[in-house]
């Protein structure tokens, strides 16, 4: 708990040591963070760091932005992250609802809904999984990064990464040398940063099980279902309609021996013939925009940090695509890491960065197990094995019991330190805030007071001199409900007495204080003077 706000330390942001590039290609400016990899995870981290006023460089080895649909399911918790970034409405406009599943059995089609809706008790504005192709997610994040004045350097490869006690050095393939306080690898399963950090990537890759992914238009196929044509041995075909007016589908074909799996063999003619043979002779595949071959690659990094080198997203954990978990887990890695980097750069104890791994690695391990289980279920193609419940929404992820949320910390009747802070309507909405998430939105801590004593304690909280700012709000000046709206808010947070909560910048609860114990003087490490 003693690292949430900046303490005295030597790792201050090096804003006084900027310079220009030397004649040998060395950039003498010392950046705050270099992010390697401009997929959705790297973009999300860069966006979070940039909105915090940090100096960040984002480099990507590919020549252009990713153009495939690969990870297309945005879970409710990730939509809440996008809400905090101000991108949720744009994501909803660009995406759409998941269509019902349609299992074709001869002349019959069995139909059911794949994804469950989150219950009202989850406290979210986004109860449903959003169908949003990865290229659209990347576009939203990339445009937001550009609006903040940051840029993606495409076609640039990090060839060598070293670190010492003060900085990291990144040698690029064009000869330039960049220096930063920290380097974060969001560069995937074969990434450079993890190798430079000497971190093992434990797990398995099944070379015998492959799936062809294709983004293309399909004539003769309705867009009202996610179509599935089962075949023996789990070698079926599926086609999911993608949002947009171009009539595209994401087509998934489990391969058999002899099927085309090399890039040069994935021609439109061969893939069109494969689709007709497996799914229906009346279907015509055309206008392919992207192809890929997936192999089940299930791995988890031994550590998430080595000194000033950190891992995020697929660089730390690789999942099967089942359950729409990989991209979502990675974006939430970035969301957990961004504010902690800001605090450490502002002077907080660097042990705060250890809490990143301690909080996020258990989540990845659990997700790996669940996505692997779901992927194995695809082999049997039964509705109950193709149904996703609230467990995939990632709304119930908690850091309780971790280094920032001990199990013996105070709690309410419904919430513990480390739990996600739920959304709820405000009984007295204003022109700028109608819900709690309107108060939490932004790169700051939020002190939320229920009751007069908690409100007085919130007013006494010191304003942080550096790092993430603190905003104070009185949710209710009393804890006895007088209206249905007040009762709903108190129930959502389990409030029965004067209570002060500290909401972390990533939307998880950092502190709960009750009654006479809401005095910030009782927590000098959490609320430094």
34-48: per-residue pLDDT in tens?
Answer: 999 999 999 999 999
Q: Choose among 346, 274, 333: nearest CA to 305.
A: 333
Look up the pTM and report it: 0.92
| Mean pLDDT along residues 82-93 | 98
Identify whether the C-beta of residue 359 lies closer than 8 Å to the C-beta of residue 404: yes
Res 171: pLDDT: 98
Question: What confidence tier does 209 reach under pLDDT thresholds 50, 70, 90?
Answer: confident
pLDDT, residue 20, reads 47
Query: In this predicted model, what pLDDT tens digit does every residue of 377-421 receive, in sequence order?
Result: 555 555 556 667 777 889 999 999 999 999 999 999 999 999 999
Beta bridge pairs of residue 292:
213
- How far apart (Å, rounded) are the C-alpha atoms in residues 68 and 65? 9
| Whole-number pLDDT of residue 306 | 97
Tens of pLDDT along 225-255?
Answer: 999 998 766 678 999 999 998 899 999 998 8
Q: How confident is the model at residue 259 (pLDDT cuts 50, 70, 90)?
A: confident
In 3D, which of 452, 448, 472 has the Cα closest to residue 462?
A: 472
What's the burial of 294, exposed, middle or buried (CB within 10 Å: 0-12/13-18/19+)?
middle
Region of 99 (left: φ > 0; alpha: ψ -120 to 50; beta: rest) is beta
Strands 168-172 and 96-97 come out as unpaired
Q: What is the pLDDT of residue 205?
A: 72
Pairwise CA distance, residues 146 & 152, whole Å: 8
**pLDDT value, residue 317:** 93
| 342/525 Cα distance (integer angstroms) | 18
Q: pLDDT over 70 for what percent of the chain? A: 86
Whether 315 and 191 have beta carbons less than 8 Å apart is answered as yes
- pLDDT, average across residues 79-89: 98
Structure tokens at 241: 């309609």
Determine the Cα–Cα distance for residues 185 and 313; give it in Å rounded to an integer: 8
Residue 513 neighbours by CB under 8 Å, 6+ apart: 410, 454, 457, 499, 500, 501, 519, 522, 523
Lookup: tokens for 6? 């900046």
Q: Where are the strands (E) in 194-338, listed by range?
A: 201-205, 211-219, 226-229, 237-241, 248-254, 284-294, 297-301, 305-306, 309-311, 317-318
pLDDT digit string (tens) for 276-321? 988 988 999 999 999 998 877 788 999 999 999 999 999 999 877 6
Q: How far apart are alpha carbons 24 and 6 in whole angstroms?
A: 37
The residue-averaged pLDDT of 202-219 equals: 84
Alpha helical stretches, state H, 101-200? 134-147, 192-197
Q: Whole-angstrom Cα distance, residue 500 to residue 506?
A: 18
Quick one: pLDDT at residue 520? 46
State pLDDT tens for residues 143-193. 999 999 999 999 999 999 999 999 999 999 999 999 999 999 999 988 899
Q: Across residues 105-109, what is the average pLDDT?
A: 87
């Amino acid at each position: 708990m003693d690292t949430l706000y900046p303490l005295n330390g030597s790792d201050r942001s090096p804003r006084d040591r900027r310079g220009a590039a030397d004649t040998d290609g060395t950039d003498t400016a010392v950046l705050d963070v270099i992010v390697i990899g401009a997929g959705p995870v790297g973009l999300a981290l860069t966006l979070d760091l940039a909105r915090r006023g940090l100096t960040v460089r984002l480099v990507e080895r590919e020549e252009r932005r990713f153009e495939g649909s690969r990870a297309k399911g945005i879970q409710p918790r990730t939509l809440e992250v996008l809400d905090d970034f101000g991108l949720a409405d744009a994501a909803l406009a660009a995406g759409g609802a998941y269509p019902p599943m349609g299992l074709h059995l001869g002349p019959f089609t069995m139909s059911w809904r794949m994804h469950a809706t989150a219950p009202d008790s989850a406290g979210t504005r986004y109860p449903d999984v959003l169908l949003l192709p990865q290229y659209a997610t990347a576009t939203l994040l990339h445009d937001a990064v550009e609006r903040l004045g940051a840029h993606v350097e495409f076609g640039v490869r990090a060839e060598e990464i070293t670190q010492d006690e003060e900085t990291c050095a990144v040698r690029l393939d064009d000869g330039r040398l960049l220096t930063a306080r920290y380097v974060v690898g969001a560069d995937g399963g074969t990434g450079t940063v993890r190798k430079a950090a000497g971190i093992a990537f434990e797990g398995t890759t099944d070379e015998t099980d492959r799936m062809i992914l294709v983004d293309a238009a399909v004539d003769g196929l309705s867009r009202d279902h996610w179509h599935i044509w089962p075949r023996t041995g789990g070698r079926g075909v599926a086609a999911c309609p993608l949002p947009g007016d171009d009539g595209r589908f994401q087509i998934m074909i489990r391969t058999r021996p002899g099927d085309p799996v090399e890039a040069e063999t994935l021609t439109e003619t061969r893939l069109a013939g494969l689709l007709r043979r497996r799914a229906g002779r009346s279907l015509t595949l055309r206008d392919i925009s992207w192809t890929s071959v997936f192999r089940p690659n299930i791995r988890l990094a031994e550590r998430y940090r080595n000194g000033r080198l950190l891992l995020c997203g697929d660089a730390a954990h690789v999942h099967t695509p089942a359950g729409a978990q990989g991209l979502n887990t990675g974006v939430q890695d970035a969301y957990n890491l961004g504010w902690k980097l800001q605090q450490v750069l502002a002077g907080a104890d660097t042990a705060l960065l250890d809490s990143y791994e301690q909080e996020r690695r258990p989540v990845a391990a659990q997700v790996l197990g669940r996505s692997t289980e779901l992927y194995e279920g695809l082999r049997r193609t039964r509705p109950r094995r193709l149904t996703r419940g609230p467990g995939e929404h990632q709304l119930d992820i908690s850091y309780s019991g971790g280094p920032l949320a001990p199990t013996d910390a105070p709690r309410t009747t419904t919430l513990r330190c480390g739990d996600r802070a739920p959304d709820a309507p405000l009984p007295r909405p204003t022109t700028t805030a109608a819900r709690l998430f309107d108060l939490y939105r932004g790169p700051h801590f939020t002190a939320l007071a229920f009751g007069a004593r908690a409100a007085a304690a919130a007013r006494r909280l010191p304003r942080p001199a550096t790092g993430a700012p603190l905003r104070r709000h009185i949710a209710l000046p009393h804890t006895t409900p007088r209206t249905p709206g007040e009762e709903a808010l108190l129930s959502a947070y389990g409030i029965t007495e004067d209570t002060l909560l500290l909401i972390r910048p990533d939307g998880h609860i950092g502190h709960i204080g009750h009654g006479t114990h809401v005095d910030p003087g009782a927590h000098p490490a959490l609320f430094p003077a």
